[in-house]
């Protein structure tokens, strides 16, 4: 039996635009995504000689084939005709669930990378990311990590220059948002403000953190904030203590702030911790 270890990195949407609904029911998106140092640890035993099994340290996460990590293992083995001879996946969870931080997708991507390494890298990283699209929309990006422009329903990726050095503070309020309901609510024809992804790309190319911060925008942010005004409270705390930008990630409910240094981030983190138990400090990875 062999044990594989892989980190599963959370993502933030620096920008998120919803362009329209497709005939297949999915929405076309355009998003600049960033992986951060908040991570789950994924361990895989290969060759257990038993039924496939998954253990997760967080309650409420499915441990059967609905778990995206299990699905990723099945998709990988099917696509490459591999039989691992029994498999056990253990997930030590740190990424908050229902946060818009792609926790399930990150675990799935980690499984894809670990299995591909175990079998001698038969797939290139772009091919592995393409396979990830069969598991979930955010899986391709979580497979490649870093900073990227993500389009379509998540399957079209283009690497961008790395995020300039900065520190993120991420705050996950108690409530969660149903992603399908949010997509139903957003009328793509009536989105009043959209991110300027070209300007974001230029700011990244210039390595200009303040310019990057000016382009941070998620079209879901005002829709969720209208129903959960506490997001404004979180953002105002961040803004008052030196944050360059503060915005919800993905379909929420986590809000992230961009700080120029760890000292600033520590102050924002301490202020938020007075009211919120789930506050994290992270670096771009």
Q: Does 202 bind ligand ATP (CB under 6 A)?
A: no
- Cβ contacts of residue 251 below 8 Å, gap of 6+? 100, 177, 179, 182, 183, 220, 224
Tokens of 87: 């498999």
CB of 280 to ligand ATP, least distance (A): 13
- Cα distances (Å, whole numbers) of residue 221 to 84, 113, 130, 226, 246: 43, 32, 29, 9, 10
Active site residue 138: yes
Give the separation between CA 165 and CA 212, rounded to whole angstroms.
11
Q: Which of 88, 107, 201, 221 binds ligand ATP (CB under 6 A)?
A: 107
CB of 13 to ligand ATP, least distance (A): 8
Q: Does 169 bind ligand ATP (CB under 6 A)?
A: no
Q: Does 173 bind ligand ATP (CB under 6 A)?
A: no
Residue with tokens 């959960």: 228
- The DSSP bridge pattern shows strands 156-159 and 245-248 to be unpaired
- Pick between residue 138 and residue 221 the one whose CB is nearest to ligand ATP: 138
Q: Does 105 bind ligand ATP (CB under 6 A)?
A: yes
- Residues pairing with 35 in the sheet: 11
Stretch that binds ligand ATP, among 99-107, 191-199, 238-246, 274-282 (CB under 6 A): 99-107
Stretch that binds ligand ATP, among 44-52, 102-110, 115-123, 162-170 (CB under 6 A): 102-110
Catalytic residue among 40, 138, 172, 235: 138
- Pick between residue 107 and residue 201 the one whose CB is nearest to ligand ATP: 107
- Residues pairing with 282 in the sheet: 168
Q: Does 32 bind ligand ATP (CB under 6 A)?
A: no
Q: Which of 9, 18, 38, 100 binds ligand ATP (CB under 6 A)?
A: 100
* Host H or E run for residue 79: helix 68-80
Q: Give the total residue count for the chain.
A: 285
Residue with tokens 């959370």: 10
Stretch that binds ligand ATP, among 98-106, 158-166, 182-190, 230-238 (CB under 6 A): 98-106
Residue with tokens 């409530």: 175
- Pick between residue 73 and residue 99 the one whose CB is nearest to ligand ATP: 99
Tell me the number of residues near ligand ATP by CB under 6 A. Answer: 21
Stretch that binds ligand ATP, among 20-28, 93-101, 214-222, 238-246 (CB under 6 A): 93-101
Backbone angles phi, psi at 54, to 5 degrees: -135, 135
**Of residues 51-90, which lie at the interface with ligand ATP (CB under 6 A)?**
61-62, 66-69
- How many other C-beta atoms lie within 10 A of the C-beta of residue 25? 8
Residues with catalytic function: 11, 138
């Amino acid at each position: 039996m062999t044990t594989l270890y892989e980190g599963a990195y959370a993502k933030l949407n620096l920008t998120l635009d919803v362009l329209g609904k497709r005939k297949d029911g999915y929405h076309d998106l355009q998003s600049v995504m960033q992986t951060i140092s908040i991570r789950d640890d994924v361990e895989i035993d290969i060759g257990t000689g038993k039924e496939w099994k998954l253990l997760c340290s967080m309650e409420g996460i499915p441990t059967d084939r609905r778990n995206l990590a299990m699905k990723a293992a099945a998709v990988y083995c099917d696509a490459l005709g591999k039989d691992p001879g029994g498999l056990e996946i253990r997930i030590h969870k740190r990424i908050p669930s229902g946060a818009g931080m792609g926790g399930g997708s990150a675990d799935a991507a980690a499984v894809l990378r670990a299995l591909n390494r175990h079998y001698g890298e038969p797939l290139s990283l772009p091919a592995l990311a393409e396979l990830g699209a069969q598991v979930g929309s955010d899986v391709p990006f979580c497979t490649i990590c870093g900073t990227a422009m993500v389009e379509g329903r998540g399957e079209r990726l283009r690497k961008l220059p790395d995020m300039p050095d900065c520190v993120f503070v991420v705050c996950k309020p108690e409530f969660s948002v149903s992603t399908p309901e949010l997509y139903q609510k957003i009328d793509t024809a009536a989105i009043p403000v959209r991110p300027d992804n070209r300007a974001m790309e230029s700011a990244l190319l210039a390595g200009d953190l303040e310019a990057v911060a000016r382009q941070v925008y998620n079209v879901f942010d005002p829709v969720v904030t209208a129903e959960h005004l506490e997001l404004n409270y979180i953002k105002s705390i961040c803004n008052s203590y030196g944050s360059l930008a503060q915005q919800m990630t993905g379909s929420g409910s986590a809000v992230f702030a961009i700080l120029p240094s760890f000292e600033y981030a520590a102050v924002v983190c301490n202020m938020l911790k007075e009211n919120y138990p789930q506050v994290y400090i992270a670096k771009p990875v």
